[in-house]
A and B are shown apart, each in its own frame.
Chain A
Amino acid sequence: MKTRKLIERIKALFDADLRLSLNKQQSLHQVLEQLRLKQKKLQAELLHEQDSQRRDKLQLKIDLVHSQRKKGLILLKQAQADAGPVNLTAAGTDSDHRCDDDAANDGSDTRD
């Protein structure tokens, strides 16, 4: 695995398009990770919130972050497909950012 990663990086040194794509994937990973943490934090807040109006607001925020993550995942898959068969980056794979099959992350399940 490490060798493949090394080969990938060396390839990227000589291929500007690939380098660009890998950079994009890396940024996407970072943003998705940040969004995941944000969603978790909001969900934790929702659990302790009693006021119905504030709960609605929090829920809306969770829905928003969820949609952004969904969009991000589609973009990540597309970027990975564009980069070719081997597209590992330092940030990890798309499986790290699954949101639809993760019940805790799915906003609709936590709605009142």
Chain B
Amino acid sequence: MLRKALLPSIFVLLAYSFWLSPDFIAIASGVAIFLFGMLSLEEGFRAFSGGMLEKVLKRSTDKLWKSLSFGIVTTSLMQSSSLVSVITISFMSAGLIGLSEGIGIVFGANLGTTTGAWLVAGFGLKVKLSLYAMPMVVFGVILLFQKAIHLKGIGYILTGIGFLFLGIHYMKEGFDAFKDNFDLAAYAMSGYTGLFLYSLIGVLATVVMQSSHATLVLIITALSSGQISYENALALAIGANVGTTVTAIIGAMGSNAQGRRLAGAHLIFNVFTGLVAIVFITPLLYAVDAISLWLGIGETDYTLKLAVFHTLFNLLGVMLMLPLIQKMVLLLERLIKEERVEIAKPRYMVASAVQFPDTAVEAVRKETNRVYDNARDIIITGLGMSKSLVLSEAELEKPLAAQRSVNRINIDDLYQRRVKSLFSAIIAFISDAAFSWKEHQSGSLHWLRDANSSIVESVKACKHLQKNMLHYLLSDNYQIRHEYNQLRMRIALLLRQLELLRQGLVDDHSLLSLDEIRLSLLEWDKRQNLRYYRLIRDGKITPEMGSSLINDAGYVDDIHDSLLAMATTLFSQSKRQRNAVERELSLDDAELDEILSAAEQARRVP
């Protein structure tokens, strides 16, 4: 209930805020465009997973010094630690690199970003990569229309980076209204209170301007005009360093647990480094003076001294944090948990069961029953039906025909998690089983393995059937809707009958009773095919609909065949010898066809 109300509440709240403040629209749209850029970037990098980029990334980040250097070099080139951080987050979300490598890159990015301070302080140079945002989006979108996967991937990456910058641009625009409130001289204070206060202002200014470089320019201007003291300027630089993590945190919002962990590592590193810099401000100042003297920087050239300080405290932070990387990884993994994906695990096949043939066969049989249960549920919901309806005695046709909306479930995902995981465990268990067993037990395992394969086949056929089924069930054409409903009803009826057979609720629960189901299906099949051709001929359905229907009826047949083959093994209530005899007595398709032909002939004779 609460979850259902959350999304509309957020919408209403946002709409009200937009109405109140146009600046908020710019900020929120900036965040939205930025996140869209992140998604696009992830999609782009995913195209390269398992390929050249993954190899290059793995090779250039497999050791700590390599990942550090990677971060330093790329950030120095791009002049944006935020961009390097968010790209690293998308690398991780796409599974291209691990958390340790990502942390190495982020640490390196913190060092690389100090080159910016040198450029700003030394040459007054400001590299504005955002100028390339629009062309990147244009080139990116053109590449998106290409067929080659790699070109498409590059397209997504370019579009993603373009949108990142565009998002940052809008956030800046929105925050511009608050920019004038930063009167840096207004809070001039000395001592630790001043340091903390100015660090906080530095954080806020960087969040507002979305660039630590812009904050540095502001600090240098204020410092050179004497608005703030040198110590306050240093505190602002520390704050700017912490504030720059906000971009990574926004970037991680749309990312998976790995991405969020990296943003966490980034935040921990920058906050820790900032705290260390504040606590050891006096020795750091002495060190800055000494280095400045050694480099020939003038006593009053505070802008270059600021660059020295920026580099020094980031270097100190990296040196202090490097030995703690593994501990940080463990902490982040504990704090930020992966979303739990429910994967079916074997319940009965314990290692000790392999030692006892009869126990092992029973364990596999029980586990196979679970595979069937899961597959049956996937088939029912995959075709837009409800389990309670299919497995009841209620009438099927009317509720199915009255259905006006159908939920689409991801059969592939469910198959992987609920069927394949168990099937793989069964295969592994059977492989472990001793070959010296008695023939009949090995035989039972053989049949059970086949039953599992049949179940898997039925789910796969259902996956193929799902696409057209869900499409045509909502069609305006009554006839095609009716035919597809008939198809899923056939499956539902079979599942119902199998359930009765399984529970021993039918009078004749021998395997031979399955022949009855086979015969009725064969009869139905013959009638249906003729009907389909008649419907096409009468123009009640288009030939395209007809061909889909014929193909999908084939998938329904596959589901029937697979499930009946499974039931022959799994639902047999007879003893072993009796079961073997019943199997032999079962009629094949040709024999069933013969019965139908004879019946047809007899009907024709008056």
Contact = CB atoms under 8 A, between A and B. Distances in A.
Interface stretch (A67-75, A81-89, A91-99): A67-75
Interface in B571-606: 577-578, 580-582, 584-587, 591-592, 594-596, 598-599, 602-603
Interface stretch (B182-190, B315-323, B510-518): B510-518
A61 B602 contact: no
Interface in A18-36: 23-24, 26-28, 30-31, 34-35
A35 B512 contact: yes
Contacts of A75: 581, 584-585
B599 A59 contact: yes
Interface in B401-452: none
B519 interface: yes
A64 B578 contact: no
Contact of B581 (A27, A61, A63): A27
Contacts of A28: 581
B580 A64 contact: no
B358 interface: no
B535 to A, nearest CB: 22
B519 A60 contact: yes
Measured as residues with beta carbon below 8 angstroms from the partner, the interface class of chain A is: 20 to 34
B342 interface: no
A31 B598 contact: no
B578 A67 contact: no
Given A64-B519, A71-B587, A72-B585, A27 B512 contact: no
A56 B585 contact: no
B519 A31 contact: no
A64 B515 contact: yes
B523 interface: yes
Interface string B533-552: 00000000000000000000
Nearest to A65: B512
A38 B508 contact: yes
B510 to A, nearest CB: 7
Contacts of B595: 60, 63-64, 67
Interface string B479-523: 000000000000000000000000000001010100110010001
B577 A23 contact: yes
Contacts of A60: 519, 523, 595-596, 599
Contacts of B603: 56
B587 A31 contact: no
Nearest to B602: A111
Contacts of A111: 599, 602
B516 A61 contact: yes
A63 B600 CA distance: 12
A10 B14 CA distance: 90
Contacts of A59: 599
Contact of A27 (B508, B577, B586, B591): B577
A34 B510 contact: yes
Given A27-B577, A27-B578, A67 B587 contact: yes
A6 B592 CA distance: 41
Contacts of B577: 23-24, 26-27
Interface string A31-68: 10011001000000000000000001001110110011
Contact of B587 (A23, A56, A64): A64
A61 B513 CA distance: 10
Contacts of B582: 31
A55 to B, nearest CB: 11
A28 B579 CA distance: 10
Contacts of A68: 512, 515, 585-587
B585 A63 contact: no
Given A63-B595, A64-B595, A24 B523 contact: no
Contacts of B519: 60, 64
Contacts of B587: 64, 67-68, 71
Nearest to B512: A68
Nearest to B519: A64
A31 B572 CA distance: 14
Given A56-B599, A68-B586, A111-B599, 10 more contacts: A27-B581, A34-B508, A60-B519, A60-B523, A64-B595, A67-B594, A71-B591, A72-B585, A75-B584, A75-B585
Interface of B: 508, 510, 512, 515-516, 519, 523, 577-578, 580-582, 584-587, 591-592, 594-596, 598-599, 602-603
Interface of A: 23-24, 26-28, 30-31, 34-35, 38, 56, 59-61, 63-64, 67-68, 71-72, 75, 108, 111
8 contacts: A24-B580, A31-B582, A38-B508, A64-B515, A64-B592, A67-B594, A68-B585, A111-B602
Name the 8 nearest CB pairs between A and B, nearest first. Answer: A27-B581, A27-B578, A111-B602, A27-B577, A63-B595, A23-B577, A72-B585, A68-B585
